[in-house]
Chains A and B, each alone.
Chain A
Amino acid sequence: MADSKKALASTPSWVAQLESPLQAKAKPSSIPDPPGFSGGSGNKKGGKDAKDKPRKQPTDEEMDTLKLKKAWEVALAPIKALPMTAIMMYMSGNSLQIFSIMMVFMAFKNPLMGLVNTNQAFERFQNESISGQMIQVKLVYVACQLVALAVGVWKINAMGLLPTTTSDWLMWEAQRNSIDFAATAL
């Protein structure tokens, strides 16, 4: 007994705290509950009703439909975010600033990451029975990401970062040399 007491005494405080966590703080009795609020214990009736009814398991077909529906949502998510992105890009201007640079970076990073992770994005919806439809969804998803990417490309073009004009290739053009030589004695 003395040993265990000693051992108890020698246990670090954190062991003691771990072993016997503090009781949840008792509600200060001086503050009354707001009207209509019934404490944690008083709300058990409703829960009881829900618990009583056993949840009906969805059928496989229902699951597939649900999965497909969710998959479509995921597939179309990039295009839904597009108007927002486009407006922000338009607003941020074509100058080289930290905001526009970050926006452009995100505009490229998100679609590219999305494309790389196409399979992962739809992994949880994968099912043998809907694999045919999933390909369609994935194609739409890829198309949406490409559209998002196109917005990014449009942006950097607007910023003048795409080498699309003659002036961008000027430095690779060589000066035309004269094969004749002349010297002046005037």
Chain B
Amino acid sequence: MRRAFSSILLLGLSSFATAVFQDEVDDIDFHHSLFGVPQAETTFFHRPRKDDKASLLYTLGDVGVFGAVNPSNGEIVWRHQISTDTTIGGGHFRAPEDEDWVAAAHGSTIQAWNALTGRNSWHANFAGEVKDLEILEVTETGRKDVLALSDEDGVTVLRRLHGKLGTVVWEFREQNKDIPLQVSTNIANIYVISLHGSPSSYSLKITSLDTLTGSRVNDWTVGTKGEVHGPQDVMFVGANSAAPLLAWTDSSLSKLSVHVLGTKGKQEIALGAETTGVVIHAPHLTQSLPHFLVHTKTATGGKGEVYHTNLKNGQISRAYELPHLKGENAFSTSSEGANVYFTRITEDEILITSSESPAVLQRWPLAASSHIKPRHAVSEVIKKPGGEEFAIRSAVTTVSDDWTLVRNGNIDWSRPEGLSGSVGAVWAELPETESLAKALEEEAHTNPLDAYIHRVNRHINDLKYLPAWIQSIPTRLIDSLSGETHRDTSLHRDSFGFNKVIVLATRRGRVYGLSTANAGKVIWSANVFPQPEGQSFELKGLVAKGGESSVVTLQGSKGEVADINAITGEVLRVVTSGSSIESTATIQGENGVWLLALDPSGKPVGEFPNGVVPKETIVVRGEGEVIKGVRFDAGEDGAAAQQTEVWQLQLLPGQRVVEVAVRPSHDPVASIGRVLGDRNVNYKYLNTNTIVVAVLSDDDSVLSIRLVDTVSGQILASQSYDGVDGSKDVSCAISENWYTCSFFGQYLLNDGSGQTIKGYQIISTDLYESSAPNDRGPLGDSANFSSLNPVDSPTQAPLPFVVSQGFVAIQPLTSLSVTQTRQGITGRQVLAYMPESHAVVGIPRQALDPRRPVGRDPTAAEMEAEGLMKYWPSLEIDPRSIVSHERDVIGINNIVAAPAIVESTTLVVAYGVDVFGTRVAPSGVFDILGKGFNKFTLILTVLALFGGVIFLSPMVRRSQINKLWGE
């Protein structure tokens, strides 16, 4: 009996490291590698090789990922993160004309990268935040240098950095209280623009510097009459052109003030009455004509006006106007030699004009099916040799946060960049084939006899599908034999349960539906909570209702609630109450689960559905560093529900909660005990009402990991670790009867040498009912328990027996999570993101087993029964256990697992900047025939055997008769 059991275990062990096979890539997994929504000022076409006409498309997205995209197919050439964390907009990204490098800056770092390979050529770090980055195109050496403007606590610093080496050529410092804004160059000078004065009446201060030495040549101020209130109000265009501009509008958007750098004074352009926004487009090259376009947006559409700058006296004059068109409009500038082309992209066509004349040079209609609503775009216009024909390709950022390349009016590719910056994801079940689900439900609610008759009738009814089914057999057989899999991309449940919908909410308030049935493609997206500029949607709760409804409920921090159909993306309900929401709890109600929203003081917001007061103890964060348990009791005769505080976990001063790990919602336990090598049983401590709270005390850097009973608030187990770095990520996960945490700390060796080991540690703790085998602890065989009830034995509280062990990992492991399978029989894996390798790893639980014997080899029985290996302090991460294999997965914040119908497999989605989804089988896919199973050979073998029997049986019969008869 036990042997059979352990042989199953052994089966699990044999596939201890299940690697992803090459033919499974893109079949079981998918990956959206993203940049974030491209920002207008950091997106451009650039030729990475001087002597090659081919150009790449570069961008720095709003989540801080920059890199190059092949414009012909939309595939990433290279990609890097500008900072270790996800950014919210900002950053600088520039490319020098005809050079093979690009420069990027964020925070205090400036980096230069090879434009073709994405290899780093240099990086520099200075005090203060980089405010602007510009390329010095014309220098005395013929080399191109980088200009970096930084703000070091009120000191404006401009550095010229060597373009090839990153060394400082010269430095300009100015000690004043001005706010540095921009740096620009024209052929003669470098201009530093800063805001001067007080916030109520800023004036623009322009300092011109000598290119060669960085010494001040001149400075002047331009009054703004209180129209500029901060850095965001100043528009600045044409950084390296012959006539760079500064522009700003007044608060009522009635006029636009323009200052041409290098001249004195400003010029005003009157704007229309309905103007809602102004954008200025100008070429970035010194050889381009000094023309610029003012794009005036209105509520219904937009128009463009082209102005020419007279280089001699700095006067601007209106050349022509592009008429007002309805719908979303985007303009972009491209230059070829001295010519400047303005491209206008509307919802139904693309047209290009020269900056010289209003005549439309060429126009391409856009197919109505393309649904492009442009927000901003970059374009590359090429005049075809020997003719008036033009070729154009535009990378358009659309209103729906997609990044689409339109070439001559056709859509070449589209990247769902809006998927980046996701803040929450949930797995939603697909509906079963409708009729069957309904029929089964009907049968479940009638008495057995009726149900039986109904079923028989149903099966007789089903007979009419039999001929069609029989007809389909040959094709299915051939498909099955040839190994061709017709992926069923319809949104219906498959028999393995692999097809599900991932509902993903992003910080831009947009919600996406991805289907695993067709390789993680976006099946719908909806801008459920449109966010104003500069604000992020803060997700507080996201839950799938479950059952047959496939409805997903979202709860935002500002009281926004939405119900969305996960299959169609239909927004069923959006309510914005405006009350601030601190947290939400998932409550199991009568009709599926619902979200209970709580305000910062821990009081429920809104009514309870059907007036049913939740019976659960709700664990909330109190004011300050407190965790408390709250209960609701129904008030008498319709009075409001009473809220009672049941317990409080108060921390000492200087301590803070750095991580709370909650059990996954689906966490079944297959066996309540653990069979040891000697056939004894250690009973698992299975208390579902437990959470892991990691408390860090900043004064002495002690991390205390506590297991807290959520009903009574009792601390059931606690471990302390010294020398933990609080600035680094602490991540925990809890499942079944164990929990695990990873952090960076230093470990004091207990060999008396006083040596410490610094490193990323992962600790693993098992909880058992009792230290003695075959003992169920003080509660014995009682069928249920309450954490609030006293125990008869006065000396023993039902505390778990704790076995804990620590391991040193070679790199940080963040976003810990545990795989979930349908019945919990399959072994578990700890899923983690490795930010230094850009990989998602599944560490087998056996590797993190705290019962691994220390200082001795495990006995054969231990190895067989428990799968124990000898303890080794360093946790080697087997490359085969990296579920993201060679994919470069960036910026993962969270990993969510969900069970499939087959026991062996867990569905996993990791999100953050990128979205990566895969299927993980911790004990191997023992319940599915793999692709390697050769059905053809099997059938051939059976046929050969059958043929052999047919052929041999007369021979055998004859020889038997002959034998009987003698010769």
Q: Spell out A's residues near B (CB within 8 Å).
A: 14, 96, 159-161, 163, 165-168, 170-171, 173-186
> Taking the nearest CB of chain B, how far is it from the CB of A170, in angstroms?
5
Other 9 A-B pairs with CB < 8 A, given A160-B679, A181-B615? A166-B673, A167-B675, A170-B672, A170-B681, A175-B672, A176-B776, A177-B784, A178-B689, A183-B617
Q: Residue on A with the closest CB to B786?
A: A179
Do residues A184 and B711 form an inter-chain contact, with CB atoms below 8 A?
no
Which residue in A96, A173, A183 is a CB contact (below 8 Å) of B673? A173
Q: Residue on A with the closest CB to B678?
A: A165
| Residue with the greatest number of chain B CB neighbours at <10 A, chosen from A14, A168, A181 | A181
Do residues A178 and B587 form an inter-chain contact, with CB atoms below 8 A?
no
Q: Does B774 sit within 8 A of A, measured CB to CB?
A: yes
Which residue in B617, B660, B686, B785 is a CB contact (below 8 Å) of A182? B617
Q: Residue on B with the closest CB to A176?
A: B785
Q: Spell out B's residues near A (CB within 8 Å).
A: 1-3, 583-588, 596, 598, 614-621, 627, 629, 660, 662, 669, 671-673, 675-676, 679-681, 686-689, 691, 710-711, 773-774, 776, 779, 781-788, 966
Q: How far is the CA of A175 from the CA of B673 in the complex (A)?
A: 9
Q: How far is the CA of A161 from the CA of B5 in the complex (A)?
A: 11
Do residues A176 and B614 form an inter-chain contact, with CB atoms below 8 A?
no
Given A159-B3, A178-B687, A183 and B585 contact (CB-CB distance below 8 Å): yes
Do residues A183 and B2 form an inter-chain contact, with CB atoms below 8 A?
no
Given A180-B787, A182-B618, A186-B621, A175 and B686 contact (CB-CB distance below 8 Å): yes
Do residues B616 and A166 form an inter-chain contact, with CB atoms below 8 A?
no
Given A170-B671, A184-B710, A177 and B783 contact (CB-CB distance below 8 Å): yes
> Taking the nearest CB of chain A, how far is it from the CB of B489, in angstroms?
37
Given A96-B3, A176-B686, A183 and B587 contact (CB-CB distance below 8 Å): yes
Which residue in B3, B586, B773, B774 is a CB contact (below 8 Å) of A161? B3
Q: How far is the CA of A59 from the CA of B815 in the complex (A)?
A: 97
Q: Which residues of the partner chain B approach A178 to less than 8 Å between Cβ atoms?
A: 687-689, 711, 784-787
Which residue in B1, B673, B689 is a CB contact (below 8 Å) of A180? B689
Q: How far is the CA of A170 from the CA of B781 in the complex (A)?
A: 12
Give 8 nearest A-B pairs by CB, closest first: A185-B585, A182-B710, A185-B583, A183-B585, A165-B679, A180-B711, A167-B675, A183-B616
Q: How far is the CA of A111 from the CA of B458 in the complex (A)?
A: 55
Which residue in B586, B621, B776 is a CB contact (below 8 Å) of A183? B586
Q: How far is the CA of A166 from the CA of B773 in the complex (A)?
A: 9
Q: Residue on A with the closest CB to B598?
A: A185
Do residues A161 and B1 form an inter-chain contact, with CB atoms below 8 A?
yes
Q: How far is the CA of A161 from the CA of B783 in the complex (A)?
A: 29
Q: Which residues of the partner chain A approach B786 to less than 8 Å between Cβ atoms?
A: 178-180
Q: Which residues of the partner chain B approach A163 to less than 8 Å between Cβ atoms?
A: 1
Q: Residue on B with the closest CB to A161?
A: B1
A-B contact pairs, 21 of them (CB 8 A): A14-B966, A160-B3, A165-B681, A166-B673, A166-B774, A173-B672, A176-B672, A176-B686, A176-B784, A178-B689, A178-B787, A180-B711, A181-B615, A181-B616, A182-B689, A182-B711, A183-B617, A183-B618, A184-B618, A184-B660, A184-B691
| Residue with the greatest number of chain B CB neighbours at <10 A, chosen from A96, A163, A186 | A186
Which residue in B619, B671, B676 is a CB contact (below 8 Å) of A185? B619
Q: How far is the CA of A183 from the CA of B627 in the complex (A)?
A: 13
Q: How far is the CA of A173 from the CA of B672 in the complex (A)?
A: 8
Q: How far is the CA of A174 from the CA of B781 in the complex (A)?
A: 8
Which residue in B620, B662, B689 is a CB contact (below 8 Å) of A181? B689
Given A174-B783, A176-B782, A181-B689, A186 and B672 contact (CB-CB distance below 8 Å): no
> Taking the nearest CB of chain B, how far is it from the CB of A156, in angstroms?
11
Q: Which residues of the partner chain B approach A159 to less than 8 Å between Cβ atoms?
A: 3
